[in-house]
Homo-oligomer: A and B are copies of this chain.
C-alpha cells in the first residue's frame, strides 16, 4: 500500500493525447419494463448476430458523438420502439473485453418503465420485438441477461423508495392492480390489508370517484397518482417507503 509517484500527466490533470480514441465504442442498452396487468415484462429483440443468433437481446445502439448518454437512451426508445415521455434511469456500465463479438464495446445500461403494455401487443411492435415475462428469461445474447438482472435489481430497490411504479400502470388504476404490480416487481406476495393501509396512509392518491367497468365481480374504485401532492409531501420531509 505504498504510494508511487505520478509519472505522467493524466486526463484530469494535464494535456494528454486522445486522438487515437482508444478504439473503444460506446453503446447504450435499454431494459424496457412493461406491465400487462399480470406479469412484469421486458421488451426484447431477436438477435441476428453470431454467435447469439435467435437469442433475445436488449434494445440498444451506439452512442453518437453529438448526444449525451441520456439523449442516446431516449433516442433509442423513440427510434426503435416509438416510446416517448418514459421514466428512464441509468443503471451501470458493462465493459468486459469480450462482451461484444464485433469489437470492444462498452455499454451503458438504462431501464425504463412503460405503461399500457396491454395496449401495445407485440403485433403492433416492430416485428422481432416482443414482450417477455421477466421471470421466463433464463438466457440472453451477449451479457444482456446480466444487464437485465442488474436493471431488475435496481428497479426493485428504487420502487420501494420512490413512487415510480405508477409509470407502469394506466393513469387510473385500482389498489389491487397497484398491489399486483408491486408483487410482480418484488416477486413476493403482499398482505392486502397492510398494503392498502400503507398506500392510503401516504396521501398522494386521488379518488377518481369512478369504478372499474365491465368486470365480472365487484368493481373496484379507481385512483390516480397525484404527483404534485407527492412533491408537496416530499418537500415537507415525507419519504415514500413501501
Contact = CB atoms under 8 A, between A and B. Distances in A.
B14 A49 contact: yes
A18 B81 contact: no
A199 interface: no
A220 interface: no
A103 B17 CA distance: 10
Given A6-B129, A13-B45, A16-B102, A96 B82 contact: no
A81 B26 contact: no
**Main secondary structure on chain A at its contact with chain B?**
loop
A171 interface: no
A93 interface: yes
A131 to B, nearest CB: 12
B18 A69 contact: no
Contact of A5 (B63, B68, B126): B126
Contacts of A46: 13
Contacts of A120: 1, 3
Nearest to A108: B93
A20 to B, nearest CB: 9
A11 B142 CA distance: 11
A3 B66 CA distance: 24
B82 A1 contact: yes
A58 interface: yes
A1 B125 contact: no
Contacts of A61: 10-12
Nearest to A84: B1
A116 B10 CA distance: 26
Interface in A54-80: 57-70, 72, 78-80
Given A1-B120, A6-B127, A6-B128, 8 more contacts: A3-B82, A4-B126, A11-B62, A12-B47, A12-B142, A14-B49, A18-B103, A69-B95
| Closest 6 A/B residue pairs (Cβ) | A3-B82, A69-B95, A12-B57, A6-B126, A14-B48, A4-B82
